[in-house]
Amino acid sequence: MSLTLTMPQTQTQTQTQTQPETQAPAVALAPREQEALGYIAAGHTYLQTARQMGLSKHTVDAYLRRIRAKLNVHTTAELTRLAVTLGL
């Protein structure tokens, strides 16, 4: 199962458009990326997440770097907010 996210438009983007509102491109997270994001959002460390998923902490770090790049998110707090919004 894959999760597809649609990034919301900023207020500036909405104000400058003269045509009907369009959504930003959708971003898909792999199931394991979703799982890792859920653990981190729940307050687990990279090591705890890795143990739960049967991975090394370096793999968890790679998953979260990919998620940050895909979603243009820079902090763990932003990742957590996003995960809560998505219901992970």
Residue 21: is its pLDDT beyond 50?
A: no
Q: Give the C-alpha separation, 69 to 34, whole Å.
A: 14
Which residue(s) pair with 73 in the sheet?
none
Per DSSP, the residues of 22-80 read -PPPEEEE-HHHHHHHHHHHTT--HHHHHHHHTS-HHHHHHHHHHHHHHHT--SHHHHH
- Angle (deg, nearest 10), helices 76-86 and 31-41: 110
Per-residue pLDDT of 34-83, as tens digits, reads 999 999 999 999 999 999 999 999 999 999 999 999 989 999 888 888 88
Residue 4: is its pLDDT beyond 50?
A: yes
Q: What would the two tokens of residue 7 be?
A: 């990034």
